[in-house]
Structure 1
Amino acid sequence: MAQAGRTYGRGAAILSAGIGLTGLITFAYFSLASHALSEEDYGQVALLWSAIFITVSVLYRPVEQLLSRTIADRDARGVTGGEHLRVAATIQLVLGAAFAIAGLLLRDPIQDDLLGGSATLYWTLIATVLAYAASYFARGFLAGHRHFALYGGLVLMESSSRFLFALAVTLGLLEGQGAVALGMAAAPIVSLAVVPPALARRFRAAPPLPDAGDAPPEGEFTLSHGTGFALAVLLIMLAEQTFLNAGPLLVRATEGESGAAQAGFVFNVLLLARAPLVLFQAVQTSILPHLTRLWVSENAGTEADSFRRSVNVTLAAIAAFAGCVALAMLAAGPFLMGIVFGGDFDYERAGLVLVALAMGLYLSAATLNQALLAQGRAASAAACWVACATGFVLFLLISPIDDPVLSVEATLLGVAAALCALLYALYRRA
């Protein structure tokens, strides 16, 4: 248990450093792009990035999670063979092909309405999303085998290569919006350079454990059950994007002439929840294979209650972090938000505290979700996410709260609490 805990801790620390540095480099990429391009061209590049980020997160993270859990499970049980890789690759190829077909059929609205008529940006979108299919497959492989340093190197190399294109345009070596956008397509391809070292490490590793022989196959290792797991996680990803984006979008759609400004204000406030989620990806990535191994060991009788202890430690750390953020918002929230974002917005102290508390509950729900995925209960977890995301949107539409910003803040807190409670109830029933 102690060795597993140390491995998990090191993995989370390495990934936190890599993802944190990646975030800074991504910020630098957009900073250079904003100086090198006109406001209109930069706005289209930013919109392209948002479309890519949301699409790949929803489409490809399910296979990343499937691979991560399945590899960890098989390693813990001593099962050999490559059927899990074939299942994951098949699902990823189908998802990529579905996106390509949809993208080609919807070329006119995507290119003309979303990307300002730019064919270059349209083809960049198509190429980048397809390239990320391989990148997310590699991420799942690396996470499952606990190659967290290489995982961190992959995301760091991705952001660095993207940054170089914006730097080249700034220095005059390349020119225009297309060159900046090309960095988005090149980044996931270049980042795959970390895969050969990972494969080499696997070949140099100790001889594999004996095959499980007559052990009954796990559901995830067949195409039908693997697809079921991936679809459940895809629904979870859609629900996650609903929590993060529905508030600003609904405010924009329902507040008339002031909608755009109000939506920007809501977006700024929700960054209190978004920013920790970026760093929490490191914990999510490392905790799933860690919990999967503990779950297998606990069921085999070689570990005693280590699974729940690991979950409880993570939940306690989240509670402490969220409490500190809430206290900071209570003490100086409006002042800090004014410094960071400027403008004439009036940030309400109580609303910022609500979002900080919602962030803690949301991160706790994400941790419980990983525990349920480790137990192979993806469908039950997805049902909770979909129900809460649906309730979030419906309540925002019929909210009795007149202030749209407070409505989003209060609804997010309530739904995050409901989601956390539902997932915890499932987790306790295991």
Structure 2
Amino acid sequence: MGARLDKLILEAITNLNEPRGSDRVAIALYIEARLAKVFTMCFLEFLMASKYVNILPASGRKLLNGLVFPLLLPCLIFSQLGFTSMFDTLNLVKLSPLRKCLNGGSFGLCGFAKGSAFLCKLNKANPFKVAFTITVDIAGHGNFTTIQSAIDSIPSGNAKWIRIQIFAGVYREKVTITYDKTCIFLDGAGSRETFIEWDGHESTNTSSTFTSYAENLVVKGIGFKNTYNLGPKQNHLVQALSAEILGDKAAFYNCSFFGVQDTLWDVGGRHYFYQCYIQGGVDFIFGNGQSFYEQSVLYYSLETYGNGTYIGYITAQGRDSAEESSGFVFKDCVIHGRGKAYLGRAWKAFSRVIIANSKLSDIVVPVGWDAWQFVGHEDQLTYAEVDNSGPGADTSKRVPWLKKLSACEINQFLSVDKFINQDGWIAKLPTVN
């Protein structure tokens, strides 16, 4: 029964399926039961439920309407006992009743969420600042021959940074980091040397080559590829993800992501992408993450893999309400490729994307952006372009609802520290150089 409800919850919170009446009741009772286990300190079970809550969009949070009083009661009790930090650590303060009850909000400058307080332990005596390193070599010269087996070897509830060194090679496997496998540093030999490949395409939430539910994740020098759409030109492309990132505090350095449709699902949480390469043609960076992409390359490839005169979309950001602090910021990036594309379209009603100090090629269509299903509500969207260059950076023919940000807003969005790093979590990651 629990496994079936887990699946229903995941589908509901990602807006893939609307649960039926009986399922809505079952889901509500199921989450309530999981949350109630905090009284017996069943932390791992509680973390699972809290992760579902953490990535709920506004529409998904309606599932919890009947849980206000059950949540407020333990909230008040724990407030009196001085255990409010535990709720913050478990990342539950984003749920409105708890936020009001505990501390009036866990938000920093300009309403950007601070996120979870949980940080992994660093070992300063180690050059990588990790507790230890385990190795993966497809040729058999390491501790493991598959990446998944190395991840599975890490204890549930781990709180110390552990480095998994992955030697060069093409690892044809579907890799998942579950919510309880925190504090993992995946260290590849280079994004053109270490590849993880799979060809999943059944549905959006099952097709990803690499999926991470856990918070506190660092990845360096790995190429993630979904090979399904990457063959000869096709008349019908399908959703085939290379990566799906759900946990808070995830950082990717010098990584590459290859796909065509829905390449990178930046689901939710604070994420940092530095000097990465992301390739695709339709909504190839999408989701509701609060993410900063810096000095990265976005390569539009729809003309290469799709038949016909398609016009694709680079982003499809899913901010669902004005209260959410999520959004995509692209700073000092390069956007180019083959064909024509929109910079983005609104996946949800308050979609937010800022592109700044970047080079835009002539692949960008003159209007730049698409309101998609939210025509008539464009005032809720935040699409902004700041100090870009190149033939695609001309905004004279852009949509009239392109946002003009104030100097203060620009300063907030274009600062890594102010947008995603208020608590300094990036400085507390393992050494990646």
Q: TM-score range by the shorter chain?
A: under 0.3
The structure with the greater share of residues assigned to helix is 1
Higher RCO (CA-CA < 8 Å; seq separation 6+): 1
The structure with the greater share of residues assigned to strand is 2
The two structures have a TM-score, normalised by structure 1, of 0.24
